Structure 1
Amino acid sequence: MQYRHQIALARTLRHLFGAAMVLFLLAPLAAVVPLSFSAGSFLSYPLPGLSLRWYETVFLDGPWLATLKNSLIVGTVATIAATVLGTLAAYAFARRDLPMPTAVLGFLIAPMIVPPVISGLGMYFLLAWLGLTSTMAGVIVAHTVLAAPFVLITVTATLQGFDMSLLRAAASLGASPTKAFLTIVVPVITPGIVAGALFAFMTSFDEVVVTLFLAGPAQRTLPLKMFEGLRDNIEPSILAMATFLMVIAAMTLIVSVVLMKKNTRNLGGRLGRAMAETGE
């Protein structure tokens, strides 16, 4: 009986510690939201009144919407490219036929380790030599390089439990390597691909330092404009956009979790259909 009480106490303390950490992380974000509805022109508590004027400024002002559009374009294209490259690289590592895999993996995940200032400076010199500075293509290439390692790590972790004998079975049934990859591997690792793509998009969408080196006036992204606003003149319109981004991030996370749970429930049926298709 005493042992059960100790287990219950340990579980309660663990839950309380988790709740305290969540509160510690979310409390600063919760403090931002009311300020975005302030009727005043300064960030202060108590609020002088409630108003939607800052949301009108954000969504009716040209520069805010232009930078949001740039961020969405760069983030979407960089996410697609990083997801394809990272997934293929993870699959190559899972096949275990690469020479010096540890050295290659360290080279590929270097953008996660190298300080952003060093990455930005190196990319600036390289892309300047290629004539891609102050261009949308240059910013997309840089964001792809920064985002691809997150997809690589996530999909590699997903492939750790993948049974490679399924590919040999598919080959024995006449499936080509491409068909086996698309009909057997991809359905199994879809949760990892989705999670990696989500990490890649958030990495690209939040990037500031490298963008400072490469972007011109026409390629300014939303985080870059928010950074410049915090540096020059702090006003509640920045918090209004930050609140909007938090809502979008929360909705994206909820949708991704629902999709991954649905994919897990249907995984067995898809595997059976995939094996049947490879035998056609």
Structure 2
Amino acid sequence: MPGSSKHKPRFDVWRALAGAVTVLVFLFLLVPIIAVLPLSFSSGSFLAYPMPGLSLRWYEELLANYKWLLALRNSAIVGIGAAALSTVLGLSAAIAMNGMGKRTKQIISGFLIAPLVMPVIIMAVGLYLFFSNLGLVGTLPGMILAHTVIGTPYVVISASAALQNFDMQLIRAAKSLGASPWMAYRRVMLPIIRPAIVAGALFAFVASFDEVVIVLFLAGPGQVTLPVRLFEGIRDELTPVVIAAAMIMIFVSTGLMALIEWMRRRSVSSRGMS
């Protein structure tokens, strides 16, 4: 009948083409990684297929080698320290900007996130020249401060996005009931925006954990981090232990990214229920 005919959904050629291109891009990025990573379980001494057998010998060597353990320890110390400082500075900046005018907020925000768009080599040279006058080159505190510079923008962006949906009337209400400013922020604001704060801190840790160029400029022999040690291993001793170290880096970064996404979805669902 003319009035009751049902239209079948039309096949969207452009959407299908975009989906196919997306799949091809992901395959282009992931297939080389997937093809190389199994070599970390090879029982042979070279990076070659077919593997002579399966073994955990390279992970055992990784955990028994002083250089690799030192690099892993340095990465953990610098990453945790930079994430903690970035969280304090980034959250403070986001709260301060939340009460500013739009124009002032844009100017300060652009200044704070500049390390994300600045070429890393220029920032590394600038930090080296500045820290060399302070005696911080070749020290872990210098590394932590340098990585704080690249980690703080992530916290600023994450916390600022959360504060846009925060009702400042809650802070005023807490103060009217006798709460001090510190207590109002600690007991009212921070619990509500905690997922965004933790996500920013995790982003700062991942940025520090994967950084190479700044470390090459600032680190001494005792401050080499895992990415730099991995770079040296590729250049000097290309054995499956390098792939084992890369596996650890990939699992740490992927796990933290998955945790950030889980926290984001949980935060969105909790806001939808409230």
**Is TM > 0.5 for Structure 1 vs Structure 2?**
yes
Contact 1:80 1:197 in 2 (8 A): yes
Q: Which residue of 103, 111, 116 maps to 1:112?
A: 116
Q: Which residue of 7, 12, 30 maps to 1:2?
A: 7
Q: Which residue of 206, 209, 232 maps to 2:236?
A: 232
Partners of 1:200 and 1:263 in 2: CA distance: 19
Q: Which amino acid aligns with 1:2?
A: H
Contact 1:36 1:236 in 2 (8 A): yes
Q: Which amino acid aligns with 2:203?
A: F
Tell me the TM-score normalized by structure 2: 0.86
Q: CA deviation at 1:22?
A: 4.0
Matches within 5 A, 1:95-110: 95-96=99-100, 100-110=104-114
Partners of 2:66 and 2:166 in 1: CA distance: 49
Q: How many residues align?
A: 269
Matches within 5 A, 1:115-194: 115-194=119-198
Partners of 1:129 and 1:107 in 2: CA distance: 24
Matched, 1:38 2:39: no
Partners of 2:268 and 2:157 in 1: CA distance: 20
Structure 1 residue ranges without an equivalent (≥5): 272-280
Structure 2 residue ranges without an equivalent (≥5): 1-5
Q: Which residue of 62, 73, 92 maps to 1:88?
A: 92
- Corresponding residue SS for 1:204: helix
What CA deviation, in whole Å up to 9, does each residue of 1:205-261 have, x standing for no partner?
A: 011101111110111111111111122232211101111222233333444444555
Change (3 A) 1:179 1:99: farther
Q: Which residue of 48, 67, 71 maps to 1:67?
A: 71
Partners of 1:188 and 1:119 in 2: CA distance: 34
Contact 2:43 2:52 in 1 (8 A): yes
Q: Which amino acid aligns with 1:183?
A: R
Q: Give RMSD over aligned pairs.
A: 2.6
What CA deviation, in whole Å up to 9, does each residue of 1:168-220 have, x standing for no partner?
A: 22222222221121122212211211211111000000111011111101111
Q: Which amino acid aligns with 1:142?
A: A
Matched, 1:55 2:62: no
Q: CA deviation at 1:268?
A: 9.4
Q: Which residue of 1 aligns with 2:81?
A: 77
Q: CA deviation at 1:4?
A: 3.5
Contact 1:112 1:149 in 2 (8 A): yes
Partners of 1:234 and 1:203 in 2: CA distance: 25
Matches within 5 A, 1:209-220: 209-220=213-224
Partners of 1:63 and 1:42 in 2: CA distance: 20
Q: CA deviation at 1:262?
A: 5.1
Partners of 1:254 and 1:121 in 2: CA distance: 33
Change (3 A) 1:59 1:116: same
Partners of 1:259 and 1:100 in 2: CA distance: 31
Q: Which amino acid aligns with 1:86?
A: G
What CA deviation, in whole Å up to 9, does each residue of 1:125-177 have, x standing for no partner?
A: 11111111111111111011111111111211222222222222222222222
Identity of aligned residues (%): 45
Change (3 A) 1:6 1:174: farther
Partners of 2:30 and 2:238 in 1: CA distance: 22
Change (3 A) 1:256 1:150: closer
Q: CA deviation at 1:10?
A: 8.1
Change (3 A) 1:191 1:25: farther
Contact 2:94 2:159 in 1 (8 A): yes
Partners of 1:98 and 1:210 in 2: CA distance: 33
Which of 99-108 and 88-97 deviates more?
Answer: 99-108
